Chain A
Amino acid sequence: MAQDSTTILTMTGISKAFPGVQALSDVDFALRQGEIHALMGENGAGKSTLIKVLTGVERPDTGVIMLDGREIQAKSPLQAQAQGISTVYQEINLCPNLSVAENILLGREPRRLGGIDWHALNKRAAEILRRLEVEIDVSQSVGMYPVAIQQMVAISRALDVSAKALILDEPTSSLSAHETDKLFAVMEKLKSEGLGIIFVTHFLDQVYRVTDRITVLRNGKLVGTYPTAELSRVELVAHMIGRELSDLEAVGRYKTRVVEHDHAARVVEARDFGRIGGMKPFDLDLYAGEVVGMAGLLGSGRTETANLLFGVDQPDSGNLTVEGKKVTHHAPLQSIHMGMGYCPEDRKADGIVGDLTVRENIILALQASQGWFQYINPAKQYAIADKYIELLDISTPTADQLIKNLSGGNQQKVILARWLATEPEILILDEPTRGIDVGVKAEIQKLVLTLAQEGKTCVFISSELDEVLRTSHRVLVLRDQEIVAELGMDDLNEQTIMQIIAGDTHDEPL
């Protein structure tokens, strides 16, 4: 990696493994003084692990971090902060119940006569905020202010600790366009004062608006660091998604047939269906026997669409018809009764029930759909569990193993089994192959195609484009909470999709 006099922070050869996952392998990263440096990558690319290593939340297995020519080894975020690396997290780590002034200065508050000098405290906090052109009543609780202000307060606190490098982790994800503008103005100002800023985001527009350089990670490896002006959007998306423009292949040969969309086979019909803050109102039709892929970057509305369809989130507008019946009560149980199944994106938080056995996890949704009193007796439970353990080749010593003791891939198979056991007509899979080794990935993709062949409908959401292409008969491309394009079998190729994702069709890179 190019070293020059203005480089303030370098990370060299950083590797970090978690049980079962190599989160980072041999990653290099350098931050210059007075630059805004975007860190990009899809889920699981290793961005957050890299940030955690840098801020002392995680210790790297190998690698060296140098700040100002000195090697640093932060054991905690606190130490990292003391050494000059400050972070503003997406969830904004403030105490919402304390005043703005306290949040900025607590721990080094001015004192007078053996007590906190509130007058001086408020005055100093107001001065610090004024530097960021924020004028608010600093004696009010932080929780009462909008997120944008909270962000500024968090940045103020970070800056006051003599920061050399500032990490902004997804700072704009809950800001309005106007608030984002304000934030960017502040970032530019800090940059001109010589601060190095690492900007983690998934909004391409913003990357091109404020950043000087871009570092892309994929699957825990460094793809490269590029000057923003020299990297086109399509190239960036290609780097993130992992398909080089040069090895684009003709797609379509994976599928054996084209699905005829005759009217009778339409199983899902969404009209003007949407939720404020999730997905803008959309129309969607799903047909029997097809796999519909959903492509788009993180935050584009992929998961939000799935949550809406399955009734996890309540819609604000529009209506949904499943198998000819209008959905009146949006809740997972109702969706199951209507023949739907849903493997959520976050396997740990929303998928597995860790302390239950594989068998119990498999029959959970089936049992829920049958109600409290139609108990599936143990013999039948074992029969169902064993059937799917064999069918999906789940590697577990017995059906009575606790699911939390299984590997990620096998846990995912159990969740799939849970839904297959309900014999759904429509199966929504959100990132079903994330963090899973290649062999299992292929199995899951094959399974999806088999289900379609049997006449079921699958919605396949993935950030890996080749996977979406390999399995889908039709691909919906999402961007900024909208379905921006629908591509049939004939139009399916990676370049088109990437261009649409990048918003390149009407907006050339800088």
Chain B
Amino acid sequence: MTSLSRGWERIRNAGLFWPLAALALVMLFNLIFTPNFFRLEIKNGHLFGSLIDILNRGAPLMLMAIGMTLVIATAGVDLSVGAVAAICAATATVLVGNVTGATNMPLWEVIPITLGVALLCGLWNGLLVSRARIEPMVATLVLMVAGRGIAQLITGGQIITVYYERFFYFGAGYLLGLPFTLFIVAGVMLFAWLMTRRTAIGLFIESVGTNASASFYSGINEKNVKLLAYVFCAFCAGIAGIIISSNVKSADANNVGLYMELDAILSVVIGGTLMSGGRFSLAGSVVGALLIQSVTTTIYAFGVPPEVVLVVKAVVVLFVVLLYSQPVKVALDKLSRRRGVRA
């Protein structure tokens, strides 16, 4: 192989290259066509601007993408994250209650209980996949369908509106001039990174996702690795649910996190983690989520109906998926090899 083809290979194999390139492209587009896109202002000591907006609004998706990354890396998928977010949003708002300026339960109790509910959801999914050996897509479909019903059960079918200032802080508050959501995302990201890269968990997840049989022969408890991934994924979805309900000051069981499971999967795939499992990139998934959010924000900025974003997403999904597909890969390999031979 020549240095040319090897260089090309290295670029293609560099995990973050494609998602970052795509993100840069969107930014470049905005630089040229969207006035004031890159302008940052300070109002009341808080930073404002489109970029901050993207980060802030993208927070729930980034969280879900982080959790989903681990699940997909074990060669699974979690379709229930949207429903889990809805359940957690419902739980949090019901616990806070709709009393003006007050809460039924102190927040330091509300948050752990809500996250506990999320962990239970994850445990359910994880047990179905790892112990009952049901195919991940099928197993998580159950909670995806039933989850919204459970969320409605919790809210009593109402859209619960909360009037407790301090609860809004999670989704709309500022810390050191930056949206508080960013700190949450950074915290979860740091936690996920430490968990996967500073313990053996990341290695085990990649090993199980690549070759479950060989991992078993090497003494890895494949079942618990999978269980952990689903529990963590639901945990992330739970935090996302709290942020969403806090941001919109209410919980609508039907609409919180709707279609977000699909966006989360898409973020992970764009970020370079294969649906077939194995190697994963947390940073890639976060960049993927940011890319989706930037595209959305950009389209909003042009006054196009927000739903049209879906068409763009469809094209992006298709492009990414075809790029990673086996026949295209084989063709590309052949191409670079032939070039190598000729040179």
Contact = CB atoms under 8 A, between A and B. Distances in A.
A372 B207 contact: no
Contacts of A342: 217
Contacts of A371: 200
B295 interface: no
A312 interface: yes
Interface string A348-367: 01111111100010001101
A418 B218 CA distance: 8
Contacts of B214: 349-353
Contacts of A354: 210-211
Given A370-B200, A371-B200, A373-B199, A356 B217 contact: no
A332 B206 contact: no
Contacts of B210: 353-356
B218 A332 contact: yes
Among the interface residues B203, B204, B213, B215, which one has the most CB atoms of the partner chain A within 10 A? B203
Interface of B: 198-201, 203-204, 206-207, 210-211, 213-221, 278-279
A376 interface: yes
A373 B200 contact: yes
A361 to B, nearest CB: 9
Given A355-B279, A364-B207, A367-B203, 20 more contacts: A332-B216, A332-B218, A333-B220, A342-B217, A349-B211, A349-B214, A350-B213, A351-B214, A351-B217, A353-B211, A354-B211, A356-B203, A360-B206, A364-B203, A364-B220, A368-B204, A368-B220, A372-B204, A373-B199, A374-B200
Nearest to A343: B217
Contacts of B207: 353, 356, 360, 364
Interface string A322-346: 0000000000110110000010100
A369 interface: yes
A434 to B, nearest CB: 16
Nearest to B215: A353
A80 B286 CA distance: 51
A421 B220 CA distance: 15
Contacts of B213: 349-350
A145 interface: no
Given A349-B214, A355-B206, A365 B219 contact: yes
A189 B217 CA distance: 45
Contacts of B215: 353, 364
A375 interface: yes
A355 B212 CA distance: 12
Contacts of A360: 203, 206-207
B219 A333 contact: yes
Contact of B219 (A349, A351, A369): A369
Contacts of B278: 355
B220 A375 contact: no
Contacts of B204: 367-368, 372
Contacts of B218: 332, 353, 364-365, 368, 418
Contacts of B217: 310, 312, 332, 342, 344, 350-351
A375 B219 contact: no
B219 A336 contact: yes
Nearest to B212: A353
A364 B201 CA distance: 11
B174 to A, nearest CB: 36
A397 to B, nearest CB: 12
A372 B219 contact: no
13 contacts: A332-B219, A342-B217, A344-B217, A349-B213, A353-B206, A353-B207, A353-B214, A356-B207, A360-B206, A372-B201, A372-B204, A374-B200, A375-B198
A267 B317 CA distance: 57
Among the interface residues B198, B199, B214, B218, which one has the most CB atoms of the partner chain A within 10 A? B218
B72 to A, nearest CB: 14
Nearest to B209: A355
Contacts of A367: 200, 203-204
Contacts of A332: 216-219
Contacts of B201: 372
Interface in A209-244: none
